[in-house]
Structure formats: structure tokens, C-alpha cells
Amino acid sequence: MIIWALIPAYNEEKTICKTIKSLQVQTIKPQRIVVIADNCSDNTAKIAKDNGAEVFVTKNNKNKKAGAYNQFLQFTKKDKVDYLLFMDADTIVAEDAIEIGIKHFKNKKVAAVCSKAGVQSLSVPCNFLERILYRLQKIEYGIYDSQRVQTTGHIKVVHGMAALHRRSYLKKAGMFNEDSITEDYYLTLMYKKLGYLVVSEIKMRAWTVVPTKIVKLCKQRIRWYRGGIDALKDIGWNRGTYKDILQHIWVNIITIVLAYIYVGWILYMVRINNYKIAYHWLILLIMISCLYDRIYRIKNYADNISARDWLMVAFLIPEIVYNQLQTMLLYFAYIQSFAKTKKTW
């Protein structure tokens, strides 16, 4: 069994050492740890070499991560390798990540398995608003993982943070689509189209660095949303995409519109009743049930939740504002996609 770990990196001198070290202590070690230095202008390549990794330097790559991966995979197309661990350069994995993840490939239908999506601790000083944004993402990622556990056999995306792929199936899926700004999601859809399984493994732990600047977060989310919408439009309706297309129609459009209509109706009823709010036991029961579900998910799946995190959850307003921001970014991505504006990373 031959396993390679591939890490595309664009100016990642601050994080690349930790990423390499987490791979070097694996209980099942990859035969090669390769940092794919993509248009770097800092010391990423030197630091990678100094810490025991191989370095592959891309040439004239204009297609970001997908292009970097494809250049290396094309260069090594005749080399024998069974499994590829694709990892972001700002991510670290637990020492048993490969050992746990590789077990899923006993099922010949499995094309890829991805890790738990954890968040690393803050490593730089942040102001109050940046810490709030960090805490919101830490909770968000935990809830995201809890939802993936419920859909282990048919996850939406094999994320690029840390995921093992069967190389032979990767070839059949056409490698990475260089026109997509969410190459991991596009590849997931291609696996599904071909009838392969993609799974998540909650015990395969990985932690990434999240943006604490609102501008960077917005750019990241617009790219995720826009890339996902574009991928579905490009690939079209099939057995691998129909669930995601229906989710966009129901969850991201109809449900959100109905929610705003409901809120408007509540405000109208409060107004015509002289601004008196009447509580119904059924609504209260639903609210308590939702709160319990949220607490359960955060407690069991989010990493390193502190008293301050729980205080923010109880306060509700930060999460409400954060969710509204996400909704606005999603609709902005819809506009960009259907208007066919230029894609940005």
C-alpha cells in the first residue's frame, strides 16, 4: 500500500512547518510528503525542504490549487501510488488520521474519505470583533461536522482540508477541474456521477486556520458558494447532483423566503395587537427543542468550546447576524453565477 501526502502551498511559510510535522508522526506514514510550491514569493519551499519534505515547484500555473495538483500528478503519472492524501498548507492532522481514514477503502466503491473539520487555536493577537468571528466559525464547523455524521455515506463534499483519495478513481473522474474555483466540490460531484461513494470519518481529525478578518471571510464564502453553484450548472442534473440541486431550491431559496415571510407576519401581528407579544406553548416547545439540538451538537462536535463560547451561544445575536451575513453572501454568489461575472479566488 503506497500513500503520498500532497500539500499545495502559496506563500505559506508561517504554517507549512506544522503541517509537515503532523504528517511525519503518522502511525501509518506516507511514503512521500510533497509540498507543491505554487507561485511562491516567500520561504515556503526552503522551510519545507529544511523540515524533511519534498518540494515540487509549479511552472506558469494560473489555475490555483487545481492546476498545482494536476501539474504534479501529470509529472508523476507513471509512478505507482495507491492513495493520495490531499491537504491544505494551513492544516494539521492527528497522528492516527491516515490509519483511521484508510480503513474505508476496504469498500471497493469508496473513492475518497475526508476528515473532521476542526479549527486551530488562535496563534496571533486579535481584537474583540475578530475573536467573535473566530468563535462563530469554531461553532459553525462543529455543527457542520455533526451534520456530516448524519449523512456519512452521502456527504455533500470531500473537503480539501484533509482527505484521502483512491488514485485510480481520481483518474477516472478526470483529475481536478481547473476551471472550478471549488475543485474539491467539483471532484466530489464527478465521483458521485460515476457511482462511487464519498464518505466522512469523524475520528479522522484535522484542524485548519480560519479567517478572522471579515473581508477575507466574505471572499472565502463567496468563492465557496459561487464555485458550488457553477459546478452544479456545469455538470447538470444526474444521480450525483440532483440532491444538491434540490437543496439549493428548497433550503437556500424557498425556506429562506418563507422564513422572512413568517418573520414579517409575526411583526405585523405584534403591531396590530398594540405591540403586545403573546407566547404559544407550541412555539416555546419548538424553540426549546431547537436550543437543545444546538447545544448537543456544539458540545459533542465543536473543539475546545470555552465558557465565553457558550456565553455567545446563549446571547444569540452574534449568530443571528452571522447567519444573515451568510445568507446575503449566498444570494450575492447566485447573482454572480447567473450573471457570469469573472470568477475570483
Give just the sign of the alpha carbon dihedral 102, 103, 106, 111.
negative
Residues recorded for the chain: 345
User: pLDDT tens, 212-268?
Assistant: 999 999 999 999 999 999 999 999 999 889 989 988 888 777 777 777 787 777 777
| Structural contact between residues 222 and 332, judged by C-beta atoms closer than 8 angstroms | yes
Per-residue pLDDT at 47:
98
Instruction: Tell me the pLDDT band of 151, cut-offs 50, 70 and 90.
Output: low
Instruction: Please indicate whether residue 149 or residue 86 has the higher confidence score (pLDDT).
Output: 86
Spatial separation of the C-alpha atoms in residues 88 and 22, rounded to whole Å: 12
Mean model confidence pLDDT for the chain: 92
Reply yes or no on whether the pLDDT at 331 is more than 70.
yes
Q: Annotate 243-253 with b (16+ C-beta within 10 A) or e (fewer).
A: ebbeebeeebe
Residue among 134, 160, 2 at smallest CA distance from 69: 160
pTM over 0.85: yes
User: pLDDT tens, 272-298?
Assistant: 766 665 566 666 787 788 888 889 999
Instruction: Tell me the pLDDT band of 191, cut-offs 50, 70 and 90.
Output: very high
Highest CATH level, class, for 3-128+147-210? alpha beta
Beta strand 197-208 with 91-93 is antiparallel
Domain ranges of the chain: 3-128+147-210
